[in-house]
Amino acid sequence: MPSGDLHIASSQVWDSGMYQCIAHNPFLQRRMTAPHKVFLTVNVPAAGERPSFKSVPVKTVSVVTGSNVTLECAADGNPVPDVVWHKEGGHLPKRRCNLMLGNLEIVGVHTKDGGVYVCRASSHLGTISGKTELVILEPPRIITPLEHHVVKHGTEITLDCAVRGNPSPSVKWFHNGKKVHHTSHVVTHDTAITIKKMTKHNDGIYQCLSNSLRTIYSTSHITVLAGNDIRSPGKSVYSDDNEEENEPDSINGASEGAGKKKGGHGRRKKVKGVKLVPPSRPEITRLSDDSVMVHWSVPQNDGLPISFFKVQYRDVSNPHSKWMTVDTDVPPHINSYAVTGLKAGAKYKFHIAAVYTNNDNKNGPNSIRFTLHKDPPKKRPSHSWS
């Protein structure tokens, strides 16, 4: 059973013997054998045993929406008691539940399945009952994605990363790849962040990440206008509509977005005699099971100015994979970016492409191979008996 207990229905004398538990951790691919053994002796039952629980039903069980769950009710007696389940103040999901040896299995759990479930074991000698509360966990989801903004110097702006989930998701904020901390100038509250009196120092990319059950994120590019800038403040002067379907000479690979888009950055024309200094080999830091932070630098040089960076990565554990390009154009004064949507356990290489003011581009060297390790599972290991 999910608890690790071994349930033998209608045990017979020939079920007597030595039993030993073996636990298997699928993440580490390790098996551990219990140091002790259990000797089971099955006796001929005495006539007339009242129902009793061999293991008391647990008070609370938590499960993520869409998963299967088993609520245990191991009852014994002579005669063998009948076990019936019901839900307090509601109904069992009849088309999605099965009764197995007195245990209730619910398949494809829905949010509405949450509540208190009661198992009742009865015979002509008596009745016993136990309760289990089923708590439904919902992975976080972003309700309203962040928008890009152009703001005047000295103004105040609030970004709200509206997320839903159960338990209530916590949100972390990053500015140009560095975690944002609460100060008198930058205030974080619940899922929002407020920056007071915007300056050029606050210019750049803001990302909110939530990873209570799985990682989700949203990105906002904020441009702070100088006093003599003639552009008008407002939302989203940046657009991803200029992404090209086929990447250019150096910036090659598919877009990480939902689809590829046409137009925009065309094939760069190489100009002789122009000095192009590429970014450094990037350093990779793990953020979660499916996200990393990529850091790089550009040495002081007298080469052509950089207009923006592109972050590219490839799953090198898959020989058929292609280089992927992050949709965002990273401004030239920013040297880090959080890449999400990766696969736990996969091996990746990253590099940074610089796009220069003449529309030419040049890739920096590849990172060393980075393995995105997964956090050890929080649930119990699986069990087997021998």
Tell me the pLDDT tens digit for each residue of 129-151. 999 999 999 888 888 888 888 88
Assess whether 58 and 132 both reside in one domain: yes
| pLDDT given at position 215 | 75
Assess whether 166 and 114 both reside in one domain: no
The domain that holds 188 is classified in CATH as: 2.60.40.10
Assess whether 114 and 175 both reside in one domain: no
pLDDT above 90 coverage of the chain, percent: 28
Average pLDDT, stretch 280-297?
89
| pLDDT given at position 1 | 59
User: Domain end: 109, 138, 167, which one?
Assistant: 138
* Position 236 pLDDT exceeds 80: no
* Position 262 pLDDT exceeds 90: no
Average pLDDT, stretch 302-327?
92
Our separate counts of H helices and E strands in the chain read 0, 33
| pLDDT given at position 225 | 84
More confident residue, 353 or 376: 353
More confident residue, 101 or 356: 356
Domain with 156, as residue range(s), is: 143-225
User: Domain end: 176, 200, 225, which one?
Assistant: 225
A 10 A CB-CB count for 176 gives 18
- Does a structural domain hold residue 21? no
Total domains present in the chain = 3
Assess whether 83 and 152 both reside in one domain: no
| pLDDT given at position 251 | 59
Distance of alpha carbon 246 from its chain centroid, rounded?
A: 30
Confidence of residue 217 (pLDDT cuts 50, 70, 90): confident
Where residue 200 falls (left for φ over 0; alpha for ψ -120 to 50; beta otherwise) is: alpha
| pLDDT given at position 4 | 67
* Position 171 pLDDT exceeds 80: yes
- Does a structural domain hold residue 59? yes
Task: Supply φ then ψ for residue 113, to 5 degrees.
Answer: -75, -10
* Position 330 pLDDT exceeds 60: yes
Distance CA(386)–CA(381), nearest Å, equals: 16
User: Domain end: 105, 138, 171, which one?
Assistant: 138
**Least-confidence region, from 194-198, 270-274, 329-333, 380-384:** 380-384
| pLDDT given at position 15 | 72
Assess whether 117 and 165 both reside in one domain: no
- Does a structural domain hold residue 344? yes
- Does a structural domain hold residue 385? no
Assess whether 154 and 119 both reside in one domain: no
Average pLDDT, the chain: 80
**Least-confidence region, from 38-52, 80-94, 105-119:** 38-52
- Angle CA(270)–CA(275)–CA(278) in degrees, nearest 5? 90
Nearest-CA neighbor of 57 among 127, 124, 114, 134?
Answer: 134
More confident residue, 238 or 176: 176
Assess whether 99 and 159 both reside in one domain: no
- Does a structural domain hold residue 171? yes
- Does a structural domain hold residue 114? yes
- Does a structural domain hold residue 88? yes
Confidence of residue 86 (pLDDT cuts 50, 70, 90): very high
| pLDDT given at position 268 | 47
Assess whether 287 and 368 both reside in one domain: yes
Following DSSP, what letter does each residue of 147-214 receive, concatenated? Answer: --EEEETT--EEEE-EEEEESPPP-EEEETTEE----SSEEEETTEEEE-S--GGG-EEEEEEE-SSS
pLDDT above 70 coverage of the chain, percent: 78
Assess whether 317 and 340 both reside in one domain: yes
Assess whether 331 and 348 both reside in one domain: yes
Average pLDDT, stretch 346-354?
95
